[in-house]
Structure 1
Amino acid sequence: MSTSDATPDPYADPIAFGQRVKILRSRRGMTRDQLGGLMGKSGSWVRAIEEGRLKVPRLEVVLRMAETLRVRDLADLTGDQSVHVDLFTGPGHPRLAAVQAAVNAFPLTEQRQAPPAEHLRARLARAWSARHSAPNHRDVIGALLPELIRDAQLSVRQADSPADMRAAQAALSEVYSLAQFFVAYQPDSALLWRVAERGMVAAQHSADPHALGVAAWLMAQAHRDSGPGHFDAADTINLETLAYLEPLLPDASDDVLAIAGALQFEAGYTAARRGDTGTAWRYWDTARAVAARLPETYYHPVTSFSRAIIGAHAVTIAVELHAGGESVRQSAAADATTIPSRPRRARHRIEEARGYQLDGQPDVALATLAQAHEAAPETIKYNGYAKRIVLEETQAKSPARRRRASELAVKLGLLAA
């Protein structure tokens, strides 16, 4: 194929802003009407932008478009190579290289003895606990992952019986699940898919309902976050796994019940991304009913699904439906202090901030983002929605708001101190 026949590269200059929008929109599998609808605009407005009949929008609109298209770097959309701002992909964690090396390794000749299964399970439990309790959770699990990956792989190779093999595969799948939390929003999308797919394969070999549910939950998220062109794939994985789990639920353990509830919410989340209000809230209602069957103090170690999280899930549904008033109402009903996990609590604060921004309360949004930063700095640092709000408010007319936004932007590494 000649270069003139190839799809243009939006990262190569010079390409007009409208052309960049069209290329990035197409790569996300979005129609003009979908992009316009998600931004509160029309498909004809998007077409006018793409064809250059409308000038480049103001910063607030450009940032919202970058959020909707989930561009890696603001310069990818604007074409301004003098200003690089990582949005939905972070700058790369210092521990990323070691995790990459462990995932990519293929050590068939290693002679050392694999650790006992009980020992590996105990380390996994400590790793999940550390992820939920540490403000620098990505740094903590990034330090633990390389050895966990190597030892879990070794346990699979040295399993002596079919039962031991299934247990080892379940543990390996869970290690990959932990790894997916680390590699999300890192500048290596291929690594994320490799981890997600290996986790799914290991779960299938384990025949363990809980492992299968967790792997499906994470794979569905990977598809959904890849854009509207992948929403059907997310739903297929989600609903197939729910159908598999349904006969087990009457006598299921708390963990299996919780992963079923988490999958119900994820189906609602994808529906909200589509703008399907009725379906989104129907799945949320089903997830709430599942949570009611769990003990009051129960908290799923991977998904955070619990009674405590249902209010936060309602905020997410409302925000994804772009319902500002409903988002604020659900925020008032949810009690963030009951969420034990620091990164999950920070994410909830970010969702609340999105709701306040949608409702025209930017000062409250900034204050809420400051609370997110206090709970877990590494969560907000890699969150594109939070970055968009902060950057937008650094251009606010109010001097006091500009100052607060700029101070937070410095903390997030978006502006120099």
Structure 2
Amino acid sequence: MPSDATPDPYTNPLAFGQRMQIYRQRRGMSRPVLAGLLGKSPSWVKQVEAGLIQVPKLPTVLRIAELLRVRNLADLTGDQTMPIDLFVGPGHPRLAAVKQAVDAFPLAADREAPPALHLRHRLDRAWAARHEAPNHREVVGELLPSLIRDAQLAARQAGTAADRRAAQAVLSEVYSLSQFFVAYQPDAALLWRVAERGMVAAQESEDPHAIGIAAWLTAQAHRDAGHAHFDAADAVTLETLRYLEPQLPDAPDDVLAIAGALQFEAGYTAARRGEAGAAWGWWDKARKAARKLPADYYHPVTSFSRAIMGAHAVTIAVELHQGGESVRQAARADKAVIKSRPRRARHRIEEARAYQLDGQPDTALATLDKAHEAAPETIQYNGYARRIVLEETEAKQPERRRRASELAVKLGLLAA
């Protein structure tokens, strides 16, 4: 192995500081940047990495893990007695059945496929159930196996070119629904398999709306994979926007909405990069797109709407680590009604991140309680929420520590 090869952080014995330096370098982040995000000096980061000062306390360790996108806390600390996966939730009991349906893809057909219109109605009901149910993963996980098998069968049995395109559009959207279920569960290979099949089916459908949805989810998968995949996320997003742009003047609301959702995704990725001007610029484009939609319109997949733009502003500010601005945006966004339970819970989590950034941990915990009330399965699978809760279980104030511990039990992070 070359002498300048990056060490493996799993190799023992490596001190905390060495592991932190390895992950920082793999992320492509300089000491001054990490120090600024932590509210520390570059010399402090250097001393921690060199082992000249003691390992930081748990709240700071959790913050470092979030910034460096270390998925399992044990990988950063080296302590295998605390294998806490910060960005992946627990495996859902229905994950195996969904995986089996995706992986099977049988070639022989022993029955006739349901009509595409029938599948469309079932799919629409599944999306509605996802938005309305607090236990949305359970509901969607129960519906998906038969929906996947029937949509695959319909795509194979379609007779005419028009029927094939219609069936592929439905199949693509079924894979999109599957990606919502699989996301943040411990099977990254399945997530990518679903995302790629969804994109292929969308392209086969030649349906702008299906292509937009598949691209929107693929871009998210790239971005969530870490800093090294941000360029891929941008490539998918921007290429799809170029494809959609000529069609927008006469496009129906669903295509206008998916274009707006993609514009926000470009801003989200820019915010993750720390590019404030580009992030807010894309958000403004998305806001203008939302204004072209009817006041009560709500996209059934992305939740894109006029009402969602306030929540999107909170996300941009939080990703840019603008504490005061994120709290101001949260106050404005709270006036809008978000219809989807999981999307409302996700917004509450983003608000909690804003309050945490602004030094208001008690308000952050209260906001996470609201997220749990809206959709328990959303907060259970969200890495940021898990990080805040774990951090506050170490708080000095007894009442805050108690509240955080109670929420940690609800999320399965601590034993009852």
Q: Same fold (TM over 0.5)?
A: yes
The corresponding residue for 1:334 is 333
The corresponding residue for 1:180 is 179
Mapped to 2, the partners of 1:95 and 1:8 lie a distance apart of 38
Displacement after TM superposition at 1:371 (Å): 0.3
Contact persistence 2:88–2:184 (CA under 8 A):
yes
Contact persistence 1:350–1:372 (CA under 8 A):
yes
The corresponding residue for 1:70 is 69
**Equivalent residue of 1:53, what SS?**
coil
Q: Give deviations 1:215-252, integer Å, cap 9, x for gaps.
A: 11111111111222111111111111111111111111
Cα gap change, 1:16 to 1:244, in 2 (>3 Å): same
Cα gap change, 1:78 to 1:147, in 2 (>3 Å): same
**Equivalent residue of 2:256, what SS?**
helix
Cα gap change, 1:279 to 1:30, in 2 (>3 Å): same
Larger displacement relative to structure 2 (27-36 or 70-79):
27-36
Mapped to 2, the partners of 1:336 and 1:213 lie a distance apart of 29
Mapped to 1, the partners of 2:98 and 2:8 lie a distance apart of 30
Cα gap change, 1:107 to 1:336, in 2 (>3 Å): farther
The corresponding residue for 2:59 is 60
1:403 counterpart = 2:364? no
Q: Work out the number of aligned pairs and report it.
A: 416
The corresponding residue for 1:158 is 157
Displacement after TM superposition at 1:66 (Å): 1.5
Mapped to 2, the partners of 1:222 and 1:44 lie a distance apart of 35
Displacement after TM superposition at 1:47 (Å): 4.4
1:119 counterpart = 2:118? yes
Mapped to 1, the partners of 2:32 and 2:210 lie a distance apart of 38
* Structure 1 portions without partners, runs of 5+: none
Contact persistence 2:97–2:145 (CA under 8 A):
yes
Alignment of 1:63-212 (within 5 A): 63-212=62-211
Identity of aligned residues (%): 76
Larger displacement relative to structure 2 (14-23 or 191-200):
14-23
Contact persistence 1:87–1:382 (CA under 8 A):
no
Displacement after TM superposition at 1:28 (Å): 4.4
The corresponding residue for 2:48 is 49
Cα gap change, 1:188 to 1:278, in 2 (>3 Å): same
Cα gap change, 1:33 to 1:144, in 2 (>3 Å): farther
CA RMSD of aligned residues (A): 2.0
Mapped to 2, the partners of 1:29 and 1:197 lie a distance apart of 27
Mapped to 2, the partners of 1:324 and 1:402 lie a distance apart of 22
The corresponding residue for 1:252 is 251
Contact persistence 1:134–1:140 (CA under 8 A):
yes
**Equivalent residue of 2:201, what SS?**
helix
Displacement after TM superposition at 1:63 (Å): 0.4
Mapped to 2, the partners of 1:228 and 1:32 lie a distance apart of 16
1:10 counterpart = 2:9? yes
Cα gap change, 1:244 to 1:370, in 2 (>3 Å): same
Mapped to 2, the partners of 1:100 and 1:188 lie a distance apart of 9
Mapped to 2, the partners of 1:121 and 1:38 lie a distance apart of 46
Mapped to 2, the partners of 1:33 and 1:168 lie a distance apart of 52
TM-score normalized by structure 2?
Answer: 0.95
Displacement after TM superposition at 1:36 (Å): 4.2
TM-score normalized by structure 1?
Answer: 0.95
Mapped to 1, the partners of 2:213 and 2:171 lie a distance apart of 12
Mapped to 2, the partners of 1:383 and 1:35 lie a distance apart of 23
Displacement after TM superposition at 1:335 (Å): 2.5
